[in-house]
Structure 1
Amino acid sequence: MQPARALHVIFCWHMHQPDYRGADGRYILPWTYLHACKDYADMVAHLEENPLARAVFNFVPTLIEQLEDYAEQFRSGQFRDALLAALAADDLKTLTPAARHSLLHQCFRLDQEHMLNPFPDYRRLYDLYQHIQIDVQEMADYLSVQYLADLVMWYHLAWTGETVRRGSPFIQAMLAKGRGFTREDRQQLLRLLGDLIHNLIPRYRRLAEAGRIELSTTPYDHPIGPLLMDFGAARESLPDCPLPQSKAYPGGAARARWHVDRALAAHQQRFGLAAGGQWPAEGGVSEAFVQVLGEAGIGWTATGEGVLAHSLRTAADDEPARERWQYLYRAYRLPSGGPALFFRDDALSDAIGFDYQKWFGHDAVGDFVHRLEEIWRHTEGQGTPVVSIILDGENAWEYYPYNGYYFLSELYKVLSNHPHIHLCTFSDYLAHHDAQPEALPRLVAGSWVYGNFSTWIGDSAKNRAWDLLCAAKRAVDQRLTRFDPAQQELILRQLGVCEGSDWFWWFGDYNPAAAVRDFDDLYRANLRKLYGLIGMPAPHTLDTPISQGGAPAAAAGTMRRTTP
């Protein structure tokens, strides 16, 4: 039963992976299916196991598209992912030297503390790899087929979720076996992973149909909508932000609407339910973009706390400083109407994303609940206070013991039974709790990272990437009508991939070099594919890397704190 005076708490878990497919449809990177087997499976299991818990799961359509593609690969046995192809291989002796080297490179890409060190047999493989790494290109050819079999098995075992392990006697047996894995072991693991991915989206759909979770979406390929519409939006929160040489992204407003509308249609098709809200890519909002969401019938959207602080300061320069609890824990709406606006509690969200991984699960839950109780006490005068906790649903757990199992299971249990806390969803909050959004006079454009767009524009490498995209878009606009509707669809779909936010996220010297190189190569390959689809040679500017990277980053750069 809902308490008489409740603090409404909304968890919104953002599920997102960019399109990792190369020009030939083969997967360059395996992160989509690996996160599916570990994180997307665990996240839904926690809600299945706790009938009183409620949460929002936001799925980017590009991610679902890839999950469907992987499900088809498992059904057909024709794998377009080199890592899965190695797991499925009848005879690992047939692997080429390049494939062997690729396995060695890929199969230690994880957090060693929580995904390698707990398994002595896996650690033994790593220690041997370290011993030969000085001349790995040559010495890798001397590693036995059994080493490769054990390596590819262990990598996939490490990338299974904790709930998956606890529910599978086979995986428990493989963890106990430790070494000497056979072809039959690999085939059985392959079948288990295939079933897991095939059933994943239906599991979320069942919970949504039962009213236990809300499913929402993001503009189709995860573009930064406000920047598509106007590069100048970056200067609303950073007046001196350097902009690309291109004055604007050609036809950006129409492209933003394309991503929004396509996402809504895809969501309805995949889940059988209309999406009540959209979490914009990286929480990127502007007044113009929120208007686009409203015109599409979106009921709610959300962004970062920094955006609200900027907006309130701009709307009332002479307003005295206020405590966060006086303005953060409520929904807003612009004077022009449109969707309700929710603002993320950055401190609580970042605590889950970056801090609690170092705590004992029980202590972390206790701290989190205490902080919510403090908010409940401070908001006594508010009728329906709401705390929005929004973060990636996949990247944090790699750095938690047991994939965050003990933290998440206890967190849901404690909050579901708390006398003053009510777990709900954005749509439920608006529909059932007499919550009238407060008027927000003005919305300053920004994102959930630092309250601005500096993660995606302003840096010389990021601006160069935008200029390359603008040139490709102008070429598309000049030639699109020459093609029949089917080819036009392929062109616009590939353009959407190139417009995704992830490419711009990774450019910059503050990110790890290996990740920057991967995304730099894939971005330029996607642009080359786009030129090929319109029958034009790709410009030579696409032959030169955009960024080098080189600095270590928290969570390997996959997540960023919302304050510098």
Structure 2
Amino acid sequence: MSHPLYVAFIWHQHQPLYKSPDSGVSVSSSQKYRLPWVRLHGTKDYLDLILILEKYPKLHQTVNLVPSLILQLEDYIAGTAFDPYLTASLTPAEQLTQQQREFIIQHFFDANHHTLIDPHPRYSELYQQRQEKGQSWCLANWELPDYSDLLAWHNLAWIDPLFWDDPEIATWLKQGRNFSLSDRQRIYSKQREILSRIIPQHRKMQETGQLEVTTTPYTHPILPLLADTNSGQVAVPLMTLPNSRFQWVEDIPRHLQKAWDLYQDRFGQEPRGLWPSEQSVSPEILPYIIKQGFKWICSDEAVLGWTKQHFFHRDGAGNVQEPELLYRPYRLETPAGDLAIVFRDHRLSDLIGFTYGAMSPKQAAADLVGHLQAIAKMQKDHPSEQPWLVTIALDGENCWEFYPEDGKPFLEALYQNLSHEPHLKLVTVSEFIAQFPPTATIHQEQLHSGSWVDGSFTTWIGDPVKNRAWDYLTHARETLANHPEATEENNPAAWEALYAAEGSDWFWWFGEGHSSNQDAIFDQLFREHLFGIYKALNEPIPPYLRQPLEVHEARADHIPEGFIHPVIDGKGDEQDWDKAGRIEIGGARGTMHNSSVVQRLWYGLDHLNFYLRLDFKSGVAPGRDLPADLNLLWFYPNKTMNNSPIPLADVPDIAPVNYLFHHHLEINLLTQSIQFREAAEHFQWHPRFSRAQVGFNTCLEVAVPWADLQVPPDYPLRLTLVLSDEGCFRNYLPENTLIPIDVP
């Protein structure tokens, strides 16, 4: 029997709990929020996603709404939630304090400027003033209308383009400047109006059958780590664990029950699917999920790979080899009953999350549909009674900031293409499982303990700062356990503070791996939630909770923290490179680079390109202060291929420049022209075509397509940079090492 290829999109909508527990528990009182992202993402990302889908009724999808997100949306809808950004936005410009003015100049451009600021001339004008003249100049020279306009634009720019045809919004966008306090108050009212439509629209589309809404444990905790922090050692046996072992498995049914109850109340039916926070699973948590009544969960292909002891290789086009293992639901078999599980295609999910925003919308949509069509053809080559299900599951809010018009043209092009493709059928997960119950089985004890990040928990535990946070949480949890009289009924504040502190987001930001300009606030919020436990129990506050867990300052050298998509124009846009790896060169230890004209090196990647940036001392000119040529040389560890030495004179016989390399990109810094070569037999170099881009202005930026290097996905490369003049070696960097690169 010939089946279409079934595709399940699952969009995960989540924000951490930004509400400070000090704000009281009365619904009528105003709630103090530390950050504005529930309100801003609420006006930009949650409603438009499903309104666009609604225009294509044949296409069914799944959306996951985290309970803590729903509760925060409801605070804003009720008008009881106030964050510092909102408070400033509703303050008459003449009454802004000096501290507020500094805050506005520093934070009211917290957005991707390419997509949210540059399209609006007045907002872009203010942004360029801050970037080019500095915060001090703005503070000294801006007048009241400048502040009032910035307050308005920060809120307007986050309203999704889908709503721009609203007469009031259209008027504001056309007005551009000279916004009054009354305008800003009306913009805030419009935000609340959009927020108020989110849950009803999800409920309506679930009732018509086009949407399935799922839920997550109450405050998004990592359930396997609540059961036992030692589960971190399943994937990483040598992981350094916290001093105190956290083992509070009884908190798991509490989080599940609270999520279940809230869902039933808001959606008028029982949930079927559960998105485990960060797609984190372990054998220990399954009985609680089954007992609560959930029918299916989702996780990542890395977890399936560990479970099956099978690494999912991909071909040069990025398609999974042995797709029949990944593209099917599995039955998790436990003594408590059974549970279905689907595993997402990590690469397809990441393409939407991190790469397609850098492509034209039509090209990106065609690329995704092309991948699905290729999988559909593979399904025909593997005839079976059981059709395939491709699961694409990802964060449904953060990626759109990098897309033109917040992803609207991409989603419209994608849905248009999918509507006309007879071999592809979009379904909710529950629809598919009801029609095609899983036939493959994974026994409970076989299931790997891990998450979507490398199939491990290293993002949330194992780092010294993360471990210290777990120790703080363990002490607070034990303190609550020593108060059996403090039940959820008679002391809800203690329990709500505990649930908040058990959320995954704080641990994500602690220590190495992830960083943002709000790290200090996340640190503060975590400690405030712990503070709330002791306060509700009338226990003394441990002194360490009054101090940050770590020093929050800009770090020097670090590895990449995520995909990047810089514009290659030689201007070194700070937002474009904020998640790139960084290596300090000038003034580094060692003899070679103490007086280097190269100050620092940045590197990063996405699914399309490898990116490199060099920052120079100001006033540096190639051919005068700097050798005229930069050579990029790629080394492929443990791979059998033709390799050749660096094709320059006077290369010293020291590692790593005495290695043999396979690819060589020579960039003339005077003309920005390139020559690309590949090593051949007998230590020869043969010219090859390259689509590499070079930009040299205030810095040097380079993008090298993976297609030039012709390497398979998930492959490790190493890179060194050599400066040369007239074919003679002059210098190399970084000193005594190679830049590590992993093809995505």
Structure 2 counterpart of 1:255: 251
Q: 297-306 vs 102-111, which deviates more? A: 102-111
Q: Does 1:99 align with 2:100?
A: yes
Q: How does 1:496-535 map to 2 (within 5 A)?
A: 496-535=499-538
CA contact (8 A) 1:416 1:423 kept: no
* Residue 456, structure 1, aligned to residue 471, structure 2: no
Within 5 A, what are the aligned runs for 1:227-242?
Answer: 227-242=225-240
Secondary structure of the equivalent of 2:204?
Answer: helix
Name 1:45's counterpart in structure 2. Answer: 51
Equivalent residue, structure 2, for 1:318: none
8 Å contact kept, 1:245–1:463: yes
- Kept in 2: contact 1:480–1:534 (CA 8 A): no
Matching of residues 285-304 of structure 1 within 5 Å: 285-304=281-300
Q: Which residue of 2 aligns with 1:146?
A: 145
| Residue 68 to residue 393, structure 1, CA distance change in 2 (3 Å) | same
The answer to whether the Cα contact below 8 Å between 1:311 and 1:444 also exists between their aligned partners in 2 is: yes
Query: 2:479 is matched with which residue?
Result: 475
> How far apart are residue 473 of structure 1 and its match?
0.6
Query: Residue 125 of structure 2 corresponds to which residue in structure 1?
Result: 124
Unmatched tracts of structure 1, length 5 or more: 316-321
* SS of residue matched to 1:43: helix
Shift of residue 504, structure 1, vs aligned partner: 0.5
For 2:167 and 2:547, the matched residues in 1 are separated by 50
Taking the aligned partners of 1:109 and 1:172, their CA distance within structure 2 comes to: 23
1:343 aligns to 2:343 (yes or no)? yes
Contact 2:349 2:392 in 1 (8 A): yes
Moved more, 264-273 or 169-178: 169-178
Instruction: Note the residue ranges of structure 2 that are not aligned, 5 or more in a row.
Output: 24-30, 312-319, 564-577, 580-604, 608-713, 715-741
1:304-315 to structure 2, matched below 5 A, reads: 304-313=300-309
RMSD between aligned residues: 2.2
String of CA shifts for 1:104-141, please: whole Å, max 9, x gaps. Answer: 222110111111112221111112233553537xx636
Distance 1:485 1:15, change over 3 A: closer
Structure 1, 45-54 or 214-223: larger mean CA deviation: 45-54
- In the TM superposition, 1:214-225 aligns within 5 A as 214-225=212-223
- Distance in 1, matches of 2:370 and 2:19, equals 44
Indicate the residue corresponding to 1:83 in structure 2. 85
Deviation string 1:422-476 (CA, Å, 9 cap, x unpaired) is 10001101112x3334112411111111111111111111111111100111111
Equivalent residue, structure 2, for 1:319: none
CA contact (8 A) 1:350 1:561 kept: no
SS at match of 1:527: helix
Among 271, 276, 283, the residue aligned to 2:272: 276
Aligned-pair distance for 1:324?
A: 3.8
Give the SS at the match of 2:32.
coil
Change in Cα spacing, 1:417 to 1:514, as seen in structure 2 (3 Å) is same
Write the distance in 1 (CA, Å) between the matches of 2:322 and 2:236: 22
Counterparts in 2 of 1:202 and 1:30: CA distance versus 1, 3 Å: same
1:421 aligns with 2:420: no
- Which residue is 2:561 aligned to? 553
**TM-score, scaled relative to structure 1:** 0.91
Secondary structure (helix, strand or coil) at the match of 2:82 reads coil
Greater Cα shift, 342-351 or 514-523: 514-523
Instruction: Measure the CA separation in 2 of the matches of 1:451 and 1:484.
Output: 36
Q: Provide runs of 4+ in structure 1 moved above 6 Å.
A: 560-564
* Partner of residue 190 from structure 1, selected from 188, 191, 210: 188
Residue 305 of structure 1, CA deviation: 0.4
- Tell me by how many angstroms 1:561 deviates: 9.5
SS at match of 1:335: strand
For residue 411 of structure 2, the aligned residue among 404, 408, 422 is: 408
**Contact conserved, 1:449 with 1:561, CA < 8 A, in 2?**
no
TM-score scaled by structure 2? 0.70
Assess if the C-alpha contact under 8 Å between 1:506 and 1:519 holds in 2.
yes
In structure 2, what is the equivalent of residue 63 of structure 1?
69
Name the SS for the 1:479 alignment partner.
Answer: coil
**2:448 — aligned with what?**
444
Does 2:154 align with 1:155?
yes
Q: Which has the higher contact order (CA 8 A, sep 6+)?
A: 1
1:6 aligns with 2:9: no
> 2:674 matched to which residue of 1?
none
Aligned ranges for residues 384-403 of structure 1 at < 5 Å?
Answer: 384-403=387-406
Q: Is the 8 A contact 1:306 1:448 kept in 2?
A: yes
Distance apart, 1:209 and its partner CA: 0.9
What amino acid does structure 2 have at the position aligned with 1:367?
A: D
Give the number of equivalent residue pairs. Answer: 542
In 2, Cα distance between equivalents of 1:230 and 1:512 = 26
1:111 aligns with 2:112: yes
**What amino acid maps onto 1:386 in structure 2?**
L
* Cα deviation digits, residues 157-176 of structure 1 (max 9, x gap): 111112122x3132222222
Which of the numbers 13, 16, 34 marks the counterpart of 1:15?
13
Residue type at the aligned position of 2:459 = T
Q: CA deviation at 1:509?
A: 3.0
1:445 match: secondary structure: coil
Aligned equivalents of 1:484, 1:230: Cα separation in 2 = 23
Looking at secondary structure, tell me which structure has more helix per residue. 1
Label 1:473 to 1:155 Cα distance change in 2 as closer, same or farther (>3 A): same
Q: Could you say which structure has the larger radius of gyration?
A: 2
Deviation at 1:4, TM superposition (A): 4.8
Shift of 1:103: 2.1
SS at 1:128 equivalent: helix
**Distance in structure 2 (CA, Å) of the matches to 1:407 and 1:513:** 27
Change (3 A) 1:485 1:37: closer
Higher strand fraction (1 or 2)? 2
